Structure formats: C-alpha cells, structure tokens
C-alpha cells in the first residue's frame, strides 16, 4: 500500500513539473514601420518613432517615422479605447512597439489598437527589425 501511494505522489509531482505541450503560435516577428506594407494580414510587432499624433473626436492616429501623408505605418485607436492610454499626444518623438494584425486601409498599412497591451513605449532604441 505504501509503495502505491508513494508512486502516485511521485507521478503527480512529475506531471506538475513537466512542461505543458505548447499549443501557442510562434511569437510575432518584429519589423520596422517601413516594412509594414509587406506584412498585410500578418500578426507582427511594428517598431518605429511616433512622428505625429492626430487627435480626432472619434479616433487617434499614431503615424510612425513620418507625418501623414508620408507615414509608412499608422496605428489607430478609436475613442472608445483611449481611456487607458493617458496623454497620447505625449507619445510624439518616442520610440514604440505596436503589436497586432496589420490591415490595409486606402492602400496603407495600419494596426487598430484596442488595448494598452498592444502599445509599448521603449526606453531605448528598438531592437533591429527582421529583414
């Protein structure tokens, strides 16, 4: 009886420590804002410097690397989702990472940001983007 109990306990401990089978998708690739147009319909992390923040009543536009209309990538935040971000205008000039699925709108790449976890302000220059 003691052997059976000991084996059961040992098996339970082993199972608890065994790594779970990974069912997660691979981590998204990191790209520059200039590369975004080549990754439409892909989930990625876009890195760049916020060149322009445009506040409108229903939407906020974060243009990376260059102001509109020359920006290679735009992040969109609808007004219903802006509460958790604080002062979005303060992002101008800062390096950021934006994660999500790139969509094309009027022949330009964009990601719609619905949550604060999709936007990271970097305290150092972004890591080199994948080519």
Domain count, the chain: 1
Strand partners, 73: 64
Classify residue 20: in a domain, yes or no. no
Classify residue 65: in a domain, yes or no. yes
Classify residue 110: in a domain, yes or no. yes
Q: What are phi and psi of 82, to 5 degrees?
A: -85, -15
Q: Report whether 58 contacts 78 (CB < 8 A).
A: yes
Question: Which one has a higher pLDDT value, 2 or 39?
Answer: 39
Q: Which residue has the tokens 């590369």?
A: 35
Structure tokens at 119: 């936007």
Residue 88 sits in a domain whose CATH number is 2.40.50.140
Q: Is the pLDDT of residue 61 over 50?
A: yes
Classify residue 13: in a domain, yes or no. no
CB within 8 A of 115, min separation 6: which ones? Answer: 81, 84
Classify residue 2: in a domain, yes or no. no
What is the residue range of 83's domain? 25-121
Largest CA distance in the chain: 77
Classify residue 126: in a domain, yes or no. no
Q: What is the pLDDT of residues 8-31, one digit of tens each?
A: 444 444 444 444 445 567 889 999
| pTM for the structure as a whole | 0.77
Classify residue 4: in a domain, yes or no. no
Classify residue 92: in a domain, yes or no. yes
- Identify the band that residue 7 occupies on the pLDDT scale cut at 50, 70 and 90: very low
Q: What is the pLDDT of residues 100-128, one digit of tens each?
A: 999 999 999 999 999 999 999 998 766 66
């Amino acid at each position: 009886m003691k052997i059976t109990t000991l084996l059961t306990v040992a098996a339970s401990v082993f199972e608890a420590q065994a790594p779970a089978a990974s069912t997660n998708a691979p981590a998204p690739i990191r790209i520059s804002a200039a590369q975004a147009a080549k990754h439409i319909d892909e989930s990625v992390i876009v890195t760049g410097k916020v060149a322009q923040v445009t506040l409108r009543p229903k939407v906020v536009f974060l243009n990376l690397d260059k102001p509109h209309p020359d920006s290679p990538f735009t992040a969109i935040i609808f007004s219903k989702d802006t509460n958790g971000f604080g002062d979005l205008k303060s992002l101008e000039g800062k390096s950021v990472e934006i994660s999500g699925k790139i969509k094309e709108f009027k022949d330009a790449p964009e990601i719609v940001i619905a949550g604060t976890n999709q936007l990271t302000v970097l305290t150092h220059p972004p890591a080199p983007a994948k080519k």
